[in-house]
Amino acid sequence: MDTTRSSPVGTDGAEPDLQQHFDGTIARDQRIEPRDWMPEGYRKTLIRQIAQHAHSEIIGMQPEGEWITRAPSLRRKAILFAKVQDEAGHGLYLYSAAETLGADRADLTERLIEGRQKYSSIFNYPTLSFADVGVIGWFVDGAAICNQVPLCRSSYGPYARAMVRICKEESFHQRQGYELLMTMMRGTPEQREMVQDAVNRWWWPSLMMFGPPDDASPNSAQSMAWKIKRHSNDELRRRFVDMTVPQAEKLGVTLPDPELRWNEERGHHDFGTPDWDELMRVIKGDGPCNDQRMERRRTAHEEGTWVREAATAHAAKQAARERKGAVA
């Protein structure tokens, strides 16, 4: 679509036909691409969500990353290394998607570091034993898959396409977590206790990953109308519970919710209510590890200054060399 048209008037400053074209593209379930006209609110919402998602992947490297040096075998170390590296890749991929909307990656990082942009609440909880690595794979990557598979059909092309690749890797991550836990459950009573303890600590925070309940989710209605989000927070949370309960049974662990039971009539599980005050506290910066996570991120950014400067200088030299070559 032509984005170079001038004298914008009408909704969101657009000529009515530009808005109409955008609305039609969304209604037909087609994709909006970077050069298409889009309402400013749509662009801002996408930058907000994609940036938060990217920040979550980068901060999300920390809880498991802490176990790389303490992994119980070379095999587990190699697997964990690869997983954490994948998370870095997802973050960079998502920052690139945000850049297609005119955002600047350095600016997004500044916003995160200054606490002006969010990252997922889940990464503010500590990883106390190696079983936590398995439970993060099973629950956190499992929740990420539930949330992100529908995002492969998100209306913004670059985000949807990024999700396809990311989901493939998340699927491998989830299976490695479950396999790790299966191995521990076949081990000693102490190992089985470690798994159950990790399950108890991560269950409720994992349910909170899907966001506040629908009636307290200010962004959902508009994001669903724009088909950025395809399902509501509660709907995806329910899916996650339905998917996870049989896996817990097979593994031999108990999910820490006395209200959890199959509802024959609805064809879904009933379950308890997460502590929404806790979610709000963690989002506002008052979770068990918020300060530690941000401090680590700030330090990594500062320590990486020389790398960014060297890369920029190298790119400038390369460009100058290419210009010279073109002249000769």
Ligand X SMILES: CC(C)(COP(=O)(O)OP(=O)(O)OC[C@H]1O[C@@H](n2cnc3c(N)ncnc32)[C@H](O)[C@@H]1OP(=O)(O)O)[C@@H](O)C(=O)NCCC(=O)NCCSC(=O)Cc1ccccc1
Query: Which residues contribute to the site for ligand X (CB under 6 A)?
Result: 48-49, 52-53, 56-57, 60, 87, 118, 120-121, 136, 140-141, 144, 147, 208-212, 217-220, 223, 229, 233, 283
* CB closer to ligand X, 140 vs 195: 140
In the three-class reduction of DSSP (H, G, I as helix; E, B as strand; rest coil), residue 191 is classed as helix
Q: In angstroms, rounded to a whole number, what is the distance separating the alpha carbons of residues 275 and 287?
A: 13
- As measured in angstroms, the least distance from the Cβ of 50 to ligand X is 8
* CB closer to ligand X, 94 vs 184: 94
- As measured in angstroms, the least distance from the Cβ of 157 to ligand X is 16
- As measured in angstroms, the least distance from the Cβ of 279 to ligand X is 7
* CB closer to ligand X, 14 vs 98: 98
- As measured in angstroms, the least distance from the Cβ of 216 to ligand X is 8
- Other Cβ atoms within 10 Å of 257 Cβ, number: 18
Q: Residue 215 carries which DSSP code?
A: G
**Which one, of 145, 130, 120, 168, lies nearest residue 283 by Cα?**
120
- As measured in angstroms, the least distance from the Cβ of 318 to ligand X is 33
Q: Residue 32 carries which DSSP code?
A: B
- As measured in angstroms, the least distance from the Cβ of 163 to ligand X is 9
* CB closer to ligand X, 18 vs 47: 47
* CB closer to ligand X, 19 vs 120: 120
Residue nearest to ligand X (CB): 60
* CB closer to ligand X, 133 vs 251: 133
SS3 for 141-175 is: HHHHHHHHCHHHHCCEHHHHHHHHHHHHHHHHHHH
Half-sphere CA count of 154, side-chain side, radius 13 A? 24
Segments in the chain forming alpha helices (H): 16-27, 40-59, 61-65, 74-99, 105-113, 130-135, 141-148, 157-185, 189-208, 220-225, 233-251, 276-283, 290-303, 305-327
